[in-house]
Amino acid sequence: MQNITSLIRLRISAHDAHYAGNLVDGAKMLNLFGDVATELLIRSDGDEGLFVAYDNVEFLAPVHAGDYIEATGRIVSMGKTSRKMVFEARKVIVPAGVAGQASAADVLAEPVLVCRASGTCVVPAGFQRKASVAPTE
């Protein structure tokens, strides 16, 4: 199976903060993983496909407004229509918290793993526009 991966990076906005202290709802990471999954399916099959289910989700560290998050994913196995994927989200930049300088930010020396998950997507056979790689399931 070819190695198909995706990476997106974005800044979490104040609009995304849902709780006290500008804390962001964990569902935001799942939203990012959905976007990563869509790209993976387009790359593998030429179609956006459908996300069927997560089989594991772990929230490992808080995410706040102003954080920059990198969400990555890869296809780990392919059936005739199913695509098993794994995802990780890492915090790579954070607000610096400098008094009187709200725009200050720091690049983290080591990214912080904030969420990881795995799940399955499906591309119906009639929608697969690319020659699929041999199934690994």
Rg of the chain over all Cα atoms, to the nearest angstrom: 17
Whole-number Å distance between alpha carbons of 6 and 44: 11
The string of pLDDT tens digits covering residues 87-123 is 999 999 999 988 888 889 999 999 999 999 999 999 9
Whole-number Å distance between alpha carbons of 55 and 71: 18
pLDDT for residue 3: 86
Output the CATH code of domain 5-127: 3.10.129.10
Mean pLDDT, rounded, for 37-55: 95
Q: What share of the chain in percent tops pLDDT 90?
A: 82
> What residues does each domain of the chain span?
5-127
Tell me the sheet residues that pair with 82: 122
